Structure 1
Amino acid sequence: MKKLLLILTILCTSLGFAQNKALFEEANALYNDAKYYEALDTYKSILDSGEHSAALYFNMGNAHYKLNNIAPSIYYYEKALLLKPNDTEIKNNLAFAKNMTLDAIDTVPEVGFSGLFNRWASYFHYEVWAKISLGLAVLFVILFLVYYFSSATLKKRLAFITSVSCLLLVFVSLALAFHGERLVESNQPAIVFAKESQIKSEPNLRSTEAFKLHEGTKVQVLDTVNNWKKIKIADGKTGWVMSDDIKLVKTL
């Protein structure tokens, strides 16, 4: 019975992949024929089936861009970039879409050791850093064994120095892996979908207005209180926005 269920599951999954592939090609054909609304409907049907991919989000971003839908185009490009963070084409199209936004916000660069460590941790995904630390640990064990069993003085010295260096790098890469994981977990990007959104100093309508944001602007969500989100923008300013005015990038 279990084998039968497994076979049925595999068959259903295969049929689902085949159907989604056919729908994806159909949507691409509609896009190429400049039928962007129809293409989006077809892409959305793939999303509704539970499939999520960088290519799907990228193409949805392209269709919205063609329709001059600022916020949705940036939103889907950002979702694609989460899945393929080093993709040049996604980055380029995202840059074009951001040119349509009204808010010109200067990015405050991270300085000092903290900023440098963040850049190192973000250079690879934290799982890659973990694999690097594991590889270095294996290399340390091999070199230490060479040092322990070798009789030649020069060979022992070289093996010892290299093994100690590998051990130090193990700790560094592990630190980068843990820090990278924290950065990923704390990264909660969102896109403003309201045409114009009043950012308040406190999470209530009676509080004073801190500043305004317009559709397509990317923010970082720091906290949630009822139907309000505390956000931070690229220049470091913070405030509270109504939850309905923004859309979290990491949501499926």
Structure 2
Amino acid sequence: MRAITFLLLCCLSFMGFSQNDAIFAEANALYNNGKYAEAIDKYESILGSEQHSAELYYNLGNANYKLNNIAPSIYYFEKALLLNPNDKEIQNNLAFAQNMTIDAIDSVPKVGFSRLINNLVNTFNTDTWAKIAVAGVLLFVVIFLAYHFSYNTSKKRIAFVTSIVSLLIACFSVAMAFQKSAIDKKDNPAIVFTQESRVKTDPNQASEEVFRLHEGTKVHVIKSYEDWSKIQLSDNSTGWIPAKDIKLLKIF
């Protein structure tokens, strides 16, 4: 009975993917014919079936860009970049979309030792650092066994040093994996979706306004309270914005 249920689920999943592929092809045809709004509807119907891909978000970004929909185009390009961070076409099109935004916010660069550590941690993602750590441990075990069973003094010395280096690499990679995981958890980007939003000093409408943001601007959410989100900009400015005015990027 379980086998039959599993087969039925596999068949339904396959049918769902096939249907989405057909819709994706229809959406691409509409896009190529300049029917961008209709293409967007088709692409979004695929998202409704909870199928996500960098290509889908990239095409949604392009279609919205053609219609001068600033916030949605940036939002979808950013989501595509989350799934495929090294894609040059996504990076270039995102840069074009960002040129349509009003807000010009400077970034505060990291300097010195902080910059070095930050660049090192971001060299790989958490999974890659973890894989390096596992490989280091396995290498340590293999070389340590070779050291233990070897009777040649020079070989034992080389094996001992190599095993210690492997262990140090494993420990370092574990530390980097935890650090990268902590950075990713703190990183909660969002895009402003309203034409203009007033950012306040406190999470209530009666508080003082500190600055205004416009559609398409990228912010980082650092705290939430009721219907408000505390945000930080790339220049380290902070304030409270109505949660309805922004759309989180890491929600798929």
What TM-score, normalized by structure 2, do the two folds share?
0.97
* Aligned mates of 2:3, 2:165 — CA distance in 1: 51
Aligned to 2:69: 69
Aligned to 2:114: 114
Query: 1:148 is aligned with what amino acid?
Result: H
User: Deviation of residue 69 (structure 1)?
Assistant: 0.6
* Aligned mates of 2:44, 2:33 — CA distance in 1: 18
Q: Given that residues 118 and 180 in structure 1 are in contact (C-alpha distance below 8 angstroms), is that contact kept between their aligned partners in structure 2?
A: no
- Once the two structures are superposed, the pairs formed by residues 1-252 of structure 1 within 5 Å of their partners are 1-252=1-252
Count of paired positions: 252
* Aligned mates of 2:30, 2:182 — CA distance in 1: 41
User: Deviation of residue 175 (structure 1)?
Assistant: 0.6
Encode CA deviations 1:36-69: one digit per residue, 9 max, x unaligned. 0000000011011111111111100010011111
Query: 2:212 aligns to what SS in structure 1?
Result: strand
Q: Given that residues 143 and 163 in structure 1 are in contact (C-alpha distance below 8 angstroms), is that contact kept between their aligned partners in structure 2?
A: yes
User: Deviation of residue 117 (structure 1)?
Assistant: 2.3
* Aligned mates of 1:153, 1:88 — CA distance in 2: 52
Query: 2:82 aligns to what SS in structure 1?
Result: helix
User: Deviation of residue 186 (structure 1)?
Assistant: 1.5
Encode CA deviations 1:81-135: one digit per residue, 9 max, x unaligned. 1111111111111111111111111111123433322322222110111011000
Encode CA deviations 1:171-209: one digit per residue, 9 max, x unaligned. 110011111111122111000111111111111111111
* Aligned mates of 2:58, 2:121 — CA distance in 1: 26
Query: 2:230 aligns to what SS in structure 1?
Result: strand
User: Deviation of residue 138 (structure 1)?
Assistant: 0.6
* Aligned mates of 1:211, 1:115 — CA distance in 2: 29
Provide structure 2 residue ranges, at least 5 long, that are not aligned to the other structure.
none
* Aligned mates of 1:8, 1:145 — CA distance in 2: 49
Query: 1:68 aligns to what SS in structure 2?
Result: coil
What TM-score, normalized by structure 1, do the two folds share?
0.97
Query: 1:212 aligns to what SS in structure 2?
Result: strand
Query: 1:78 is aligned with what amino acid?
Result: E
Query: 1:193 is aligned with what amino acid?
Result: F
Q: Given that residues 192 and 217 in structure 1 are in contact (C-alpha distance below 8 angstroms), is that contact kept between their aligned partners in structure 2?
A: yes
Across the aligned residues of Structure 1 and Structure 2, the Cα RMSD in angstroms comes to 1.1
